[in-house]
Amino acid sequence: MAHPVLDADPTVQVSDLSLAYPAHAGGRAFQAVEGVSFEVARGEVVGLLGESGSGKSTLTRFLAGRAADAGEKAARIKLTGGAATVFDVPMRRLGRRTRSRLTAYVGHLAQDAGATLTPELNVGDILFEPIVERSKHFDREALGERIAEMMDIVALPLAKLQEYPYELSKGQRQRVAVMRSLMLDPALLIADEPTLGVDANNRPKIVELLRWYRERTNATMLLISHDIGMLEALVQEVLVMQHGRLVGQGDINEIFRHADHGYVQRLAQALRATAYDEIADE
């Protein structure tokens, strides 16, 4: 494969998809996602909602080409039914080369991204790392200007580029992780709780960074978030999961205000009730 079909529409297509974790170390196999179908159109921003354990992170890891993170068999996600394509690339049995090329176009922000920044690198090197891994030849000055612009948007002083993860607060590490997920200019960003651990005053800056990025690139986005401010600022369409199944789908305002599924109604109410009461580090 030379490159994914980046103008494919839809960008993501999921049909009756089922995903499981195989039995491991004496444990039982676990069906995490069952019979899910949806599409994400090119340039669309879609929110993925659901309580803990609903299958959101499993689904997004699989679609981001991270079915076997860090090569751990215990974490390996197995497709057990249906199909999924990203940029018209079938996600069943991705070869190593195809996965590597696809993930150059798919940005993935894992839920624990802020906590897993490379401790031996300073912030500047952490941000440059994805570029350096892909190519030894790039315009360092232009990239530096873009990093400076992103640092300004998320309210991090440029002096932070010389600091190491242990010197940053939880919220600052998360802001660095979000910036890092954008470094390769992904045509599709899949982000799991982008504002996790960021205090209420700085969460809108993450929203502003993602909006800035979309205006530059018209990227497609699939966002897991419980941050009602982020959802209402960025998202057009919402998918709601419960126990591995899709139980709600539609325009964000319709879903939040006129949902006829009891679980969806309760979830919307809970999101509004806890919109900005989370205590987090700056």
pTM for the model: 0.89
Q: Is 174 within a domain?
A: no
260: number of Cβ within 10 Å: 7
Q: Is 46 within a domain?
A: yes
- With cut-offs at 50, 70 and 90, classify the pLDDT of residue 273: low
The alpha helices in the chain, defined as continuous H runs, are 56-63, 96-103, 123-134, 140-153, 170-181, 203-217, 228-234, 252-258, 262-273
Structure tokens at 34: 């069952």
Q: Is 126 within a domain?
A: no
- With cut-offs at 50, 70 and 90, classify the pLDDT of residue 277: very low
Q: Is 127 within a domain?
A: no
- With cut-offs at 50, 70 and 90, classify the pLDDT of residue 218: very high
Q: 172 near 282, Cβ under 8 Å?
A: yes
- Does residue 69 surpass a pLDDT of 70? no
Distance CA 171, CA 8 (A): 35
- Does residue 45 surpass a pLDDT of 60? yes
- At residue 127, the 3 state secondary structure works out as helix
The tens digit of pLDDT for each residue in 247-269 reads 989 888 887 776 566 666 777 67
Looking up residue 38, the CATH number of its domain turns out to be 3.40.50.300
Higher pLDDT, 124 or 5: 124
Q: 230 near 203, Cβ under 8 Å?
A: yes
Distance CA 4, CA 8 (A): 8
Low-confidence winner among 16-25, 58-67, 156-165, 270-279 (lowest mean pLDDT):
270-279
Q: Is 128 within a domain?
A: no
How many domains does the structure of the chain reveal? 1
Give the per-residue pLDDT at 258.
62
Q: Is 172 within a domain?
A: no
Distance CA 185, CA 163 (A): 24
Distance CA 14, CA 82 (A): 8
Residues spanned by the domain of 204: 12-111+186-273
Q: Is 40 within a domain?
A: yes
Q: Is 171 within a domain?
A: no
Cα dihedral across residues 188, 32, 20, 28: positive or negative: positive
Q: 85 near 91, Cβ under 8 Å?
A: yes
The tens digit of pLDDT for each residue in 162-184 reads 999 999 999 999 999 999 999 99
186 preceded by a cis bond (ω within 30 of 0) = no
Sheet containing strand 237-242, strands side by side: 106-109, 188-192, 220-224, 45-49, 237-242, 245-251
- With cut-offs at 50, 70 and 90, classify the pLDDT of residue 126: very high
